[in-house]
Amino acid sequence: MNPLAKELNEVLSTTIVEDLLSDYGKRMYFPKGIISQSAEAKQRARKYNATIGIATDKGSAMCIPSVFAGFTGGLSHDDVFPYAPTAGELPLRKVWLDEMRKKNPELQGKTISLPVVTSGLTHAISIAASLFLDKGESIIVPDMYWGNYNLTFVEQREANMVFFPLFANGGLNVEGLAKTIDSIPGDQAALILNFPNNPTGYTPTWTEARALVAMLVDKAEKGKKLLVFTDDAYFGLFFEQDVCTQSLFALLCDAHRNIFVVKGDAATKEEMVWGFRIGFITYGAKGLTEAHYEALVKKTMGAIRGGISSCSKPAQSILLKGMKSGTYHAEKEAGIVLIAKRYHHLKQILKAYGSNPNLQVLPFNSGYFMSFACAGNAETLRLYLLDKYEVGTISIQSKYLRLAFSSIDIEQLEDLIAIVYKAAEEVFQASAGQKA
């Protein structure tokens, strides 16, 4: 049991609650991960807050103006107040599917399900896990992963996360994943792939993506039934020419009869509506028909109905209206360009530091984030940055320091990076000195 859960249980011990908690209730805790580090930074990072997993401009949340327009008029009572259908508003599901097909030309001619609306991508992952992962089963996860998978896969589902190193030789570790799949006993294996990746900001190149697909097809051909979740939270934020700009879902959804792909994506980051809580779940596998997809959608609807009943109606109405506006695509592109400029500037800044004994820049080419592998304890560095420089960052597994360039203005990046390198030198040289 997680020590934080134990602490909470200790507080509740000798009360009636202790006797009544379910096993799940006993296991539950609130992690001291990104959310609590961000909360700390909100209070104390008066100079720069590079923890925030949203996109900001001059300190305010960015948005697509056509979507924001929904708040200032044009909606009827019926757009706002009734329940939304369990699977979500049909016109929104169809628009999302149309957009998905436009963004992923590899989907052409492939039969996939109609997306079902969920309350954010977290909810989509949780539903997929509840439908496909049993207690004691394993799910393969890259060693650099979004910490919330701990709660969903391990605490909710009681599954085991089996890790593979995301990188080898500065790129995607396809061989490491292949070996990890082979290590799973039996004829099934589940895995989750998140690109652009949180926390590294890495997306495979086209060459790597093709190699990954070929490797998975080879496993499928040899009889392994593969369940692949794609977590496409940061889809569309691709900043290099060679990056695979399509979802692995599009490449895998008709790759082999033994490969079943569940795509989790969301308006959250793609449409810059973090608080709307709109995600989607879409299914694809070679050989599945419309009737099969309808059955899967019904099961998904059952999971939604029994969990949250239905998702927010006004959020769906506003998003749909925005996505149908004539200026929506141009406005969305403007937001992506702003983040892309920060990315390119950041790359230039980091180049000037070359290889550094304290901080090693991990590969990144997309998304909101970049991470450093730290020569010393990353949590010590995070706290030092907060205390001495009022700079908020995220430490991960005590080894990595994550910065969100999505929420740092371009003119602040140089100073932020200078502070991080300076602090790392102060902290890690000092601790090396103490050891010597």
Instruction: List residues near ligand PLP by CB under 6 A.
Output: 53, 120-122, 146, 194, 198, 231, 233, 266, 268, 279
Shortest distance (Å) from residue 53 CB to ligand PLP: 5
Q: How many CA atoms lie within 13 A of 217 on its CB side?
A: 14
Output the smallest distance, CB 44 to ligand PLP, in A. 21
Closer to ligand PLP by Cβ: residue 138 or 194: 194
Cα separation, 195 vs 59, in Å, equals 26
Q: Which is nearer to ligand PLP, 128 or 420 (CB)?
A: 128
Q: Are 407 and 50 in contact (CB under 8 A)?
A: yes
In the bound state, the residue with its beta carbon closest to ligand PLP is 120
Please say which residue, 53 or 322, places its beta carbon nearer to ligand PLP.
53
Strand, helix or coil for residue 87: coil
Task: Please state the closest distance from residue 295 (CB atom) to ligand PLP, in A.
Answer: 26
Determine the Cα–Cα distance for residues 288 and 297; give it in Å rounded to an integer: 13
DSSP per-residue string spanning 384-416: HHHHHH-EE-EEETTTEEEEEGGGS-GGGHHHH
The CA distance from 114 to 283, in Å, is: 8
Which of 194/358 has CB closer to ligand PLP?
A: 194
d(CA 267, CA 249): 17
Beta pairing class for 160-164 and 116-118:
unpaired
User: Please, what is the minimum distance in Å from the beta carbon of residue 384 to ligand PLP?
Assistant: 25
- Of the pair 9, 282, the CB lying nearest ligand PLP is at 282
3-class DSSP state for residue 189? strand
Q: How far is the CB of 291 from ligand PLP (least distance, A)?
A: 30
Is the CB of 53 or the CB of 335 nearer to ligand PLP?
53
On the CB side of 143, CA atoms within 13 Å amount to: 14
Tell the smallest beta-carbon distance from residue 323 to ligand PLP (Å): 16
Could you tell me the smallest distance in angstroms from the CB atom of residue 389 to ligand PLP?
A: 25
Rounded Cα gap, residues 100 and 93, in angstroms: 10
At its nearest, how many Å lie between ligand PLP and the CB of residue 176?
A: 20
Nearer to ligand PLP, 81 or 163 (CB): 163
What tokens appear for 155 in the block? 């605490």
CB atoms near residue 98 (< 10 Å): 11
Nearest-5° angle of CA 174, CA 180, CA 186? 130
The pair of three-digit structure tokens given for residue 408, joined into one six-digit string: 């740092």
Is the Cβ of residue 198 or residue 366 nearer to ligand PLP in the bound state? 198
Integer Cα distance of 362 and 370 in angstroms? 7
Q: Pick the closer one to ligand PLP by CB: 268 or 317.
A: 268
What are residue 372's DSSP bridge partners? 361, 401
- DSSP code per residue over 135-157: TT-EEEEESS--THHIIIIIIIT
Question: Which residue, 127 or 296, is less far from ligand PLP as judged by CB?
Answer: 127
At closest approach, how far in Å is the CB of 87 from ligand PLP? 17
Are 310 and 304 within 8 A, CB to CB?
Answer: yes
Give min distance, CB of 429 to ligand PLP, in A. Answer: 33
Taking the chain, what is the end-to-end CA distance rounded to the nearest angstrom? 37
